[in-house]
Structure 1
Amino acid sequence: MNKVLELDAVSRNFTSGIFRTHTTRAVDHVSFTLERGKTFGLVGNSGCGKTTLSRMITRVLRPTSGSIRFEGEDIARLDRRQCKTYHRRVQIIFQNPEASLDPSMRIRDSLLEAMAIHRLGESKEARMEKIRATLRQVGLPDYLLSRYPHQISGGEGQRLVICRALLLEPEVLLLDEPTSMLDVSVQASIMNLLRDLQQELGLTYLYITHDIELLGWISHTIGVMQKGRLVEVGSRDQVMEAPIHPYTKELLYSYTHWEGGTTP
């Protein structure tokens, strides 16, 4: 197995109270591996620790214990130059595209800025050429470049955020509920785009969601989180068709009964 990102017994505690004596463990000894070119789906209800986990992978938070390794290197030990490279190679896509785009900048300038920060492209003309090619790759017209974020739809916004990430030539995309704010038809188009891009570019995905149905469609491996713990990990077929943990069964039961129009 070609490992790209490895989490080994990762935990994260938060303290609260006047004297900071109360400790909450948001993530509790979580271990899993992202295999190159595959999708690891992470599912669980709100508050289970999924977002805290993604914030540790992006180095916004440091683990209280355990380690996160990218291509064998502990990301906590990266120096400043290595961190910049890591943040280019591991990109995150959030659920709200408008919050990911500067409202005061035209789309063109936001995309150019991302490339300039990482010194990609020999000139502005070369950067614009790559931007136009990547726009076509995500199914968007050039005329959107002159618009501001508030002038585009949610689906266009999410495609633009994906475009911006692709401009940096990443290897891993962390997808944190990327379609939860879109209507069903737009969700399907974004999911199809993500699957096509993975096949075309060999991208590795960590797909974070509360919707187990989506994971059954896009994931190769599924991990189920409950109260900070990873309670079940298995192939898509195993988790979707023969779940072991009661919480996994509960998630699937809720989905199938909602889908069938009955109440669990």
Structure 2
Amino acid sequence: MKFFRNIRKRFLYKNKFSKYLGYALGEITLVVIGILIALAINNRNQDRINEKNEQIYLTGLREEFQTSKLKLTELIAVNQANYIGAKEILRYTTANELPVEIVFSTLLYNTFSSDVAFNPNNSLLLEMINSGNLKNLSNTELRKQLTNWTATLEDISRQEEELAIQREKVLDMFRKNESSLSTIFKQAGVYDDLDLPKSRNDVSNLGLLKSTEFENNILMFILTSYATEKAHYYPLMQDIDGILELIQNVRK
């Protein structure tokens, strides 16, 4: 820089202002070019950092949604088993011959002992949303799908709450004097597994198969279970597959 200043002084001393001006502009140009080069290097470094962070997020999101897919697959199987069992119970309500008590109790226990609720792995996604890091994902469609994911889960939760209500309506019929949960537990082997004390008398639940209220509750449970699967779980599975495909495409 001292060299440049000396040249400027010589130009001014010899009254060669035009040459001085040209040289000064050239010096300014060099400084600007140097700044632009420094900014370009800094931007490239920042881009590499952002790309590295994005890959870390994508890897974590892929693991979360793969786990959620496995959970949903298992849940769909449980829900299917529940409404298939309920359909078998409904068939007995119109059959000419009643099943034996142990068959009915086992069928009831297997159908209504498992609640249905989707519990996805969302810790990383929620952290990204709350911290604002979701914007760091370069794929616009992926950001859109991830943003809509929480709203989709709320819809799923409302449907599962309705299914739980229909399940409870069936179970409530076994809390009355005319029926017995104890009979179901004993016949299904739950008493032995939990080492529960034996009740005094076994009350038959077969009379419920002639109850219109029981039939209606079973029917509503079947319809709600079926709707949960077809209108909610299957579309949710498609959403998961779509998100995983977008993640895979960005990671390439």
Same fold (TM over 0.5): no
The structure richer in strand per residue is 1
The structure richer in helix per residue is 2
- TM-score, normalised by the number of residues in structure 2: 0.21
Say which one has the larger Rg.
Answer: 2
